[in-house]
Amino acid sequence: MHDWRTHYASKLVSAREAVKAIRSGDRVVLGHACSEPPALVTALASRAAELRDVEVFHVVVMKPCELANPGMEHSFRLNGIFLGPCTRKGVEEHRATFTPCFFSELPRLFRQKILPVDVILLQVTPPDEDGFCSYGLSADYTQAAAESAKVVIAQMNRNMPRTSGIRIHLDALTWIVEEDAAIAEVATPQFGELERQIGDLIAELVPDGATLQLGIGAIPEAALLSLRDKRDLGIHSEMFSDGVVALAEAGVITNRRKTINPGTFIATFLMGSSKLYNFVHNNPAVEVLPVDYVNDPWVIGQHDNMICINSALQVDLTGQVNAEMIGDVQFSGVGGQVDFVRGASRSQGGKSIIALPSTAVRGTISRICRRLDEGASVTTSRNDVHYIVTEYGVADLRGKTMKQRATALISIAHPAFRDTLRNDPSLVATRQA
Ligand code: COA
């Protein structure tokens, strides 16, 4: 076997040197979330005056993303399948674009060259004895993009936690930039009494021994707090954060009863504080794997008692879930919601739970609504939906008629809106026998 050390020095460059490989018109894929390489992003942004029409493809982007700033759009056009605080405004102001896509599908789009990749910018750990670097906090689409890209540029960071799962050999890296930046930390979402009530209702649906997926936002985090009296829970989740570490340390999460990958936490990316990063570093019980495995409904469905907990912005009276748009403004994206809803529906004893506060905008808008806002898209369809939970209760929609669904959903709407929803003339359709 050849010694990777021989070639290492010849690949070592500064960030500014490395990003010279990027040309106008290229598609550049950004490493995901906390694995986004800050040194490379800053170096690329400094080339704005020289570059035109570089497409920067992303999912979750970390702050501060100079590439997303107003005025950068002629050099860098952001295109993502998920929007957050850094990327939302650009799409709203038509400086950036959004591509609808299930998270689980993304690796296929890269591998099949439906989205050909010119360059990937990623962040990895230093190599092990055999020359393999860990992908660290994010495996998701990164491996597929790296294997499809013409140029692979890695920021090698000694602070990046070394996780089990997949790894990349130094031979596959075109350029290496050694820079030990602090790993981005993401605060646990704040929640109050209302989310706690919703968490308690969710906990009633979770049996001991269940395997959990937890979505993004305050409600999944609150649900974890309500699960502290359960036993032998397991994790097979798109991502997880500090709340899962707390339950593991309390002995509630053991992964002992998982049907597949027993004894192991499975995720496709990780996002939290240094507490999480210390927990996963060199921990053989945590595997960070590609999203086309973790989010594959067929894989998810093999777990008995798979419980998926996600959130939404609004739900109409037939059970259509909008989790990504406020009116016709794109707020986030489908992410893994539908992947896990469908996986749970195939699981023996599985349940998918969409939980949301009953109102928005200080109680002035009902999130249980007659129909979704004009322009809003359906994230989870009424054919896929199972449980909807608000602070007023649980509606089990599976196998229910239109009329039964409307009745169940009105019963968990905020009381101030129930009469309006019940008496709406357009509800005639849902009053079928
Ligand atoms: N009309 C108008 N505004 C609304 C609204 C509605 N129907 N529903 C929510 N809002 C507002 C809220 O008031 C809030 O505004 P604020 O930030 O000014 O308080 C904002 O929209 C966000 O709502 P909130 O419920 O706090 O969002 P969240 O952070 O809990 O995230 C989702 C909820 C649905 C956006 C998020 O879970 C998501 O993106 N889901 C899709 C992807 C997914 O499920 N992935 C899971 C697999 S990992």
- Ligand 1: atom nearest CA of 238 is 48
Q: Which residues have CB under 8 Å from 247's CB, separation 6+?
A: 224, 227, 228, 233, 253
How many whole angstroms from 55 Cα to the centroid of ligand 1?
27
- The Å distance, Cα 363 to ligand 1 centre, comes to 14
222 pLDDT above the threshold of 80:
yes
Phi and psi angles of residue 91, each rounded to the nearest 5 degrees, phi first: -70, -40
SS3 labels along 233-256: EEEEEEEECHHHHHHHHCCCECCC
Torsion over CA: 90, 95, 101, 103 (sign): negative
The rounded percent of the chain whose pLDDT value lies above 70 is: 97
Ligand 1, atom 23: closest residue by C-alpha? 313
DSSP structure string for 369-431? ESSPPTTPPPSB-TTT--EEEETTEEEE-TT--HHHHHHHHHHTS-HHHHHHHHH-GGGGGGG
* Closest ligand 1 atom to 314 CA: 7
Residue range 145-149: mean pLDDT, rounded: 97
Q: DSSP code of 200?
A: H
Q: Is 238 a catalytic residue?
A: yes
- Tell me the pLDDT band of 428, cut-offs 50, 70 and 90: low
**Residue 260 vs residues 44, 229, 300, 309: alpha-carbon distances, Å:** 42, 23, 9, 19
- Please check whether residue 284 is in contact with residue 262, taking contact to mean a CB–CB distance below 8 angstroms: no
Query: What does the DSSP 8-state code read for residue 273?
Result: -
Q: Can you give the C-alpha Rg of the chain in angstroms?
A: 22
The sign of the CA dihedral 153, 156, 160, 162 is positive
Instruction: Give the pair of three-digit tokens for residue 170.
Output: 């130094």
For residue 64, is the peptide bond before it cis, meaning its omega torsion is within 30 degrees of 0? yes
Separation in Å, CA 172 to CA 54, 130, 149, 167: 23, 13, 10, 11
pLDDT band at 424 (very low <50, low <70, confident <90, very high): confident
Choice among 195, 238, 324, 391 that is catalytic: 238
Q: Tell me the pLDDT tens digit for each residue of 368-417.
A: 999 999 999 999 999 999 999 999 999 999 999 999 999 999 999 999 99
Q: Cα of 312 to ligand 1 centre, how many Å? A: 6
Tokens of 9: 């020095």
CA of 397 to the centre of ligand 1 (A): 22
Which candidate, 415, 309, 299, places its Cα nearest to that of 363? 415
The tens digit of pLDDT for each residue in 177-207 reads 999 999 999 998 899 999 999 999 999 999 9
Distance 400 CA to ligand 1 centre (A): 26
Residues 6+ positions from 71 with CB-CB distance below 8 Å = none
Ligand 1, CB within 6 Å, residue ranges? 215-218, 238-239, 310-314, 323-324, 326, 331-332, 335-337, 360-361, 365, 367
Q: Which two tokens stand for residue 276?
A: 């999480």
Spatial strand order of the sheet with 321-322 comes to: 321-322, 314-316, 368-369
Q: Which atom of ligand 1 is nearest to the CA of 323?
A: 34
Interatomic CA distance for residues 224 and 322, integer angstroms? 23
The Cα 83–Cα 133 span in angstroms is: 29
Chain centre to alpha carbon of residue 156:
24
Q: How many CB atoms lie within 10 A of CB 427?
A: 16
Strand 325-326 to strand 329-330: parallel, antiparallel, or no bridges (unpaired)?
antiparallel
CA dihedral 213, 215, 217, 222 (to 10 degrees): -20
**Considering only CA atoms, which residue is closest to atom 11 of ligand 1?**
360
Using one digit for the tens of pLDDT, what is the confidence trace for 86-106? 999 999 999 999 999 999 999
> Residue 53: which pLDDT band, with cuts at 50, 70 and 90?
very high
Predicted pLDDT of residue 1: 55
330-369: pLDDT as tens digits: 999 999 999 999 999 999 999 999 999 999 999 999 999 9
Protein residue with least CA distance to atom 30, ligand 1: 217
